[in-house]
Structure 1
Amino acid sequence: MANTLSISLSSSLKLHLSVPTSINTTCRLRTLAMATPATATKVVPAVIVGGGRVGRAFQDMGNGQDFLVKRGESVPLDFEGPILVCTRNDDLEAVLQATPPSRWNDLIFVQNGMLEPWLQSKGLSDADQVLAYFAVSKLGEAPVDGKTDTNPEGLTAAYGKWASAVAARLHAGGLSCKVLNKEAFQKQMLEKLIWISAFMLVGARHPGATVGAVEKEYRSEVSSLIAELASAAAAEKDLVFEEAMEDRLCAYSRAVSHFPTAVKEFKWRNGWFYSLSEKATAEGKPDPCPLHTSWLKELKIV
């Protein structure tokens, strides 16, 4: 004898299977599981530090089980899982002090710029990081992925023990995210540092210029600066960047062409390159970033 097992694949389609009555329940359940569509990727609940645009966007990608920590509040000790730090760079010290030391290895830093010196000073050299190439225009708005014509697969990347969980959350929100090893992540981090340092500085020399205007109207200036900063970063970190960096960075600028330009968070961005210049000068060596230094002085930033 055989029973008919009816499996709904959609609202309009059913699969009818004849199975022997002697087949056990486990086998029938396995058949059912294989025949039905896969469930959505599970999003691991997280502590989210920072209730701004990025923090709220990460929370909206969750399943309603996240714990939001606002300014002045402490990170809970008993909430397991990743801790997404979505604050300004200058708030990182306060965030660390509000986080129990036993939870520091669960921190994931979602900031632009050069965090390495600060992380090393805190014993967090191997901390998880996210390189976010997506934009959130206003609080509550859906993020826009920074996919470009040179990298249509997306540029957002994550590194560390919680990297896969972060990628799953971003994928659930319709955004791209790659999981990288430390060396690959460091190269991409430096590329974005070069992008933000070069485009913001050139834009500052031309008041009112957007990122798109810099790419279109002042391409020669930004190209020279990209080449200079890339050379200095490669020498300092003893690495070789992938070819066509300028093309990738200009493509990203076209994707976010409306962004305004300004030299901000100097310590975390242009300041890292200027520190290389200061170190070389103190040692009696040529400035590795002479154009960068000249334009910083022109704008009275240093």
Structure 2
Amino acid sequence: MAVMVSLSRTQLLRLSSLQAPNVPNSRKVDICRLSVGKSRSRGGILRSSTLVAESRISGIARASSEQWGEGAMATATAGEVAAGVIVGAGRVGQAFEKMGGGRDIVVRRGETVPEDSAGPIFVCTRNDVLGTIVDATPASRRGDLVFIQNGMLEPWLESKGLGDATQVLVYFAVAKLGDPPLDGKTDTNPEGLTAATGKWAKATAARLHSAGLSCKVLDAEEFKKPMLEKLIWICAFMLVGARHPGATVGVVEKEHRKEVEDLINELAGAAEAEKQLKFDAGIVDRLCAYARSVAHFPTAVKEFEWRNGWFYEISRRALESGKSDPCPLHTAWLKEIGVVKS
């Protein structure tokens, strides 16, 4: 006996992803026929239930119809990885997808997040397309966005009404497409530095733990200091490296230690004053230890608005109000490499 069933676009995308993971979503939903074939024993007892999908792109795919129970693909019990949506198919996006065991929906450039999807929405893209990603996400789902980008996101998130969004402080690296992520554990923090906060923080930690990566779950207040430390790290090491063309993060830490120490301390002081907090002792040692763990990373000042631009704005406001520049080294070196005008 064949029984016709109606599946949502989200369910079609998940089913077709099993057979054609690299095909755009716009083609995955080109399903010709869906039916449930049921075979019964002589006594009329249901023996099996198989969902069959015939698609122009993937031929025939079979999966247990029990998978399509309401919410089954987006709800995880304790110890499981919650299925969700992954925006972006680059190095980090693919790594997140592998952690999900193929149960996630992957949204690529130009596609929208399905309104009937569920679970966390991991945004694995560059900062400069975040506005487009939010616009491509239904309003009812924007509270499920999980941002894993580097930099100071706080002002931008607040401007979008997403001040409580889940954020992940990433201290792992994916060298190239398909490679497993490497945890950025250091000699000062062997327990790991990656952290998450917000609605989907626990689900994010469970996903990362499934791949052997560390991830702490912090509340919003606890998250502030490590987030600022990571911002200081990327701003300081990238800027000092840019002053010495070709220098990697490891070269900066080893050969230009005094420069990067001075800049870290300067930026830390400005961040403490701006956010009314106090960093734990040993910030220079912690950030230099992380640099040693990713010594091969190249250096360049990028995504200025989201990184060094936050500190430069603090300097600009101070100077305009007649005060001294709280980040004179930072300002001078940005001018030296031509990122800002002299």
Normalised by the size of structure 1, how large is the TM-score?
0.86
> SS of the counterpart of 1:42?
coil
Aligned partners of 2:148, 2:79: CA distance in 1, in Å?
Answer: 22
Give a deviation string over 1:15-51, Cα, whole Å, max 9, x none.
xxxxxxxxxxxxxxxxxxxxxxxx9920000100000
Look up the equivalent residue of 1:123 and give its one-letter code: G
> Paired residues, what number?
264
> SS of the counterpart of 2:128?
helix
Residue 114 of structure 1 aligns with which residue? Answer: 152
> SS of the counterpart of 1:158?
strand
Residue 36 of structure 1 aligns with which residue? Answer: none
Aligned partners of 2:221, 2:329: CA distance in 1, in Å?
Answer: 28
Is there any run of 5+ residues in structure 1 with no aligned partner, and where? Answer: 1-38
From 179, 185, 199, the counterpart of 1:141? 179
| Consecutive aligned runs of 4 or more in structure 1 exceeding 6 Å deviation | none
- Counterparts in 2 of 1:116-265, with a 5 A limit? 116-265=154-303
> SS of the counterpart of 1:294?
helix
- Counterparts in 2 of 1:86-125, with a 5 A limit? 86-125=124-163
> SS of the counterpart of 2:325?
coil
> SS of the counterpart of 1:253?
helix
Look up the equivalent residue of 2:100 and give its one-letter code: G
Q: Give the alignment's Cα RMSD to 1 decimal.
A: 1.0
* Alpha-carbon shift at residue 63 of structure 1 (Å): 2.4
Look up the equivalent residue of 1:180 and give its one-letter code: L
Aligned partners of 1:301, 1:63: CA distance in 2, in Å?
Answer: 42
Is there any run of 5+ residues in structure 2 with no aligned partner, and where? Answer: 1-76
Normalised by the size of structure 2, how large is the TM-score?
0.76
Give a deviation string over 1:74-130, Cα, whole Å, max 9, x none.
001111110000100001000000000111110010100001111111111111100
* Alpha-carbon shift at residue 161 of structure 1 (Å): 1.1
> SS of the counterpart of 1:153?
coil
Aligned partners of 1:92, 1:72: CA distance in 2, in Å?
Answer: 13
Aligned partners of 1:88, 1:186: CA distance in 2, in Å?
Answer: 21
Aligned partners of 2:171, 2:150: CA distance in 1, in Å?
Answer: 10
Residue 275 of structure 1 aligns with which residue? Answer: 313
